[in-house]
Structure 1
Amino acid sequence: MAYLVLLVGVLAVSTASIFIRFAQSEVPSLVIATYRMALAGLLLAPAALWRGKQAQTSLEPAEKRQVLLAGVLLAFHFASWIASLELTSVVNSVVLVTTAPLWVAAASPVLLKEPVSGNAFIGLGLALVGGVLVGLSSICSITAGGFGCQEMGDFFQGKAALGNLLALMGAWFSAGYLVVGRRVRKKLHLMTYTFRVYGMAGLTLLVVTLFFGLVLNASSGTNVAELLFDYSPISFVWMILLALIPQLVGHTAFNWSLAYLPAAFVSVALLGEPVGSTILAILFLHESPTLLQFIGAGFILAGILLASRQTAE
């Protein structure tokens, strides 16, 4: 059941970059991130409050602080990753942000006392190689004449370089979120945990958005209403869908899985997102994947399969 839930989660989060790109035609990235987490937290509130007070008394003060920390890390994950989509390609952004397993695998033995076996590292390596191939597919191709790439300077310079760095920072924050969540998730009901984390993330993002939008840009005369609400109805549709599908369905599935599977494996499963994004691009954007993308997807799936078998053993 845990593996099935993870699959649903991967498919759900794969829609995120499409909704974000549509919303970014009008809405700033920080505002998109704020709506994503604030709406998710509000939608979870009735179920979380109904679960009641018994879960609230099951945590020590230090564990309550860890839940809040998980929310802050999640907020900065989305702030940095969504901003990266404005500056670099979707493929580069998604591939770099899904390197989180590398950092989780490095931290799990020390912080969680969860050993990571040799086979799990091999699976992680295969998946990361696949992610790199998917990323290179935007500038490289396989033809009858062999393998060739265009000029790679744009990948490391200018706006693209900043976007790539922000996506990598998103991976670091995501890894921290998963590690912290693994420590406290078992003690809380899923709805209670996600409501607290999403609510903290939404509050953090709101503060950051208001600071950057109002304080740092005071000379522009922007007010709170313009910053948060002055957008077309279709933009709100994209942000609502972003909160419902990738966040509530996708990330809630990952949070549920953290109670039953090691954090390293849950994060490895996130590497399936580039595959899901490719499938959705075929269905909705009519973008045909290249041979290199297919090969990269094969590596990713092989890595996830190997890590899955190791975890099951």
Structure 2
Amino acid sequence: MAAGNKVRAGLALTVAVVAISWSAILVRLAAAPALAIAFYRMLFSTAALAPSGIRATGPVSRRDLGLATLAGVLLGLHFASWISSLDYTSVASSVMLVTTQPLFTAVLGPSVLGERVGARGVFAVILSLAGIALIAGGDLQTGGQALLGDGLAVVGALTASVYFMIGRALRNRIRFTRYLLLVNGAATLVLLVFVLSYGVPLRGFPPMAWLWFALLAAGPNLVGHGLLNWSVRRLPAFPVNMAVLGEPVLATLYAAILFKEMPTRLFYPGAALILAGLLIVQWNREEGEAA
């Protein structure tokens, strides 16, 4: 990759992480049922993407259409599980666990994408996960509800990892805007099925809730996930997934400022380990280790 393209990809990845780090905060502010939040987040995103996605030209094979639909189903499951986790556990614990997706990428990436993780990549994962463990250890709740929330967040991590790997596999076969429309549309339909199945209300929310729904679609979804999809078409899936580990650092800081959820003393060494892992990945990705 040319130097200019590397800079653009790195900048896009940075903006994406900042955008998605607001996701948990906006979910909390919306104060609505989790599945309703997830549904409107995807519905508004799909509506915004429709004009450019429909105009995108180029053939799409039946196989690629199926893969894009599968990616959308996984995205819908990701938001359903992760947003629901925030009803049961803290912002810090939820966001820490959902960003363990590099573990699944490291395990599945070599067989799914043929992307080698390498020794430094493994070390970066261990380093970052040690940081996550430190932060979560200072804040992790106990009891059945917290464990349920933690489990839902891990499901969100698994589905997000496979979603991004599919996006990388299709990066040269489907126009970017069309791919986003297909994925977001499929996710919206999946979430609608969940909403109808569980009898979740879709109206009667206060005006501010609709503002938070719209901001979730515009910021974390269109900007955040849009740039992550753009980045994963130009970078190996592993460093993209690793960069997302910056989300818990920022989200925990936002929660401390807005909700007075102050980080424990373990937050600071944990954040340092996470950032160290990110630096290892970004500095070594061009050497072919996907580290």
Normalised to the residue count of structure 1, the TM-score between the two structures is 0.86
Alignment of 1:255-294 (within 5 A): 255-285=229-259, 287-294=261-268
Corresponding residue to 2:145 among 133, 136, 159: 159
CA distance in 2, matches of 1:158, 1:289: 23
**SS of 2:171 mapped into structure 1:** helix
Alignment of 1:84-123 (within 5 A): 84-123=85-124
Alignment of 1:43-58 (within 5 A): 43-51=48-56, 53-54=57-58, 57=59
Alignment of 1:25-64 (within 5 A): 27-51=32-56, 53-54=57-58, 57=59, 59-64=60-65
Deviation at 1:120, TM superposition (A): 0.9
CA distance in 2, matches of 1:281, 1:158: 23
CA distance in 2, matches of 1:254, 1:185: 12
Alignment of 1:141-160 (within 5 A): 154-155=141-142, 157-160=143-146
Asked whether the 8 Å contact 2:45–2:222 carries over to 1, the reply is: yes
Q: Which moved more, 1:261-270 or 1:278-287?
A: 278-287
CA deviations on 1:246-284 (whole Å, 9 max, x unpaired) are 111100010001111111111111111011113323554
Number of corresponding residues: 280
- Could you say which residue in structure 1 is the equivalent of 2:28? 21
Report the residue type matching 2:73 in the other structure. Answer: V
Gaps of 5+ in 1: 140-153, 215-226
1:170 aligns with 2:170: no
- Could you say which residue in structure 2 is the equivalent of 1:9? 16
- Could you say which residue in structure 1 is the equivalent of 2:175? 189
1:131 aligns with 2:132: yes
Deviation at 1:34, TM superposition (A): 0.4
**SS of 1:229 mapped into structure 2:** coil
CA deviations on 1:275-309 (whole Å, 9 max, x unpaired) are 11133235544554333111111111100110111
CA distance in 1, matches of 2:146, 2:254: 24
Deviation at 1:60, TM superposition (A): 2.3
CA distance in 2, matches of 1:271, 1:109: 20
Report the residue type matching 1:14 in the other structure. Answer: S
Q: 1:12 and 1:33, CA in 2 relative to 1: closer, same or farther beyond 3 A?
A: same
CA deviations on 1:81-134 (whole Å, 9 max, x unpaired) are 000000011111111111111001100101111111100111111111111111
1:245 aligns with 2:246: no
CA distance in 2, matches of 1:62, 1:256: 21
Deviation at 1:187, TM superposition (A): 1.9
CA distance in 1, matches of 2:94, 2:167: 24
Q: Sequence identity of aligned pairs in percent?
A: 41
Report the residue type matching 1:295 in the other structure. Answer: P
Q: Which has the larger radius of gyration?
A: 1
CA deviations on 1:164-218 (whole Å, 9 max, x unpaired) are 111111111111111211111222222111111011101110111111117xxxx
Asked whether the 8 Å contact 2:91–2:251 carries over to 1, the reply is: no
Q: 1:118 and 1:72, CA in 2 relative to 1: closer, same or farther beyond 3 A?
A: same
CA distance in 2, matches of 1:265, 1:117: 12
- After TM superposition, the runs of 4+ consecutive aligned structure 1 residues lying more than 6 A away are none
Deviation at 1:63, TM superposition (A): 1.3
CA distance in 2, matches of 1:187, 1:62: 11
Report the residue type matching 1:162 in the other structure. Answer: L
- Could you say which residue in structure 2 is the equivalent of 1:143? none
CA distance in 2, matches of 1:286, 1:47: 41
Corresponding residue to 1:201 among 179, 182, 187: 187
**SS of 1:261 mapped into structure 2:** coil
- Could you say which residue in structure 2 is the equivalent of 1:67? 68
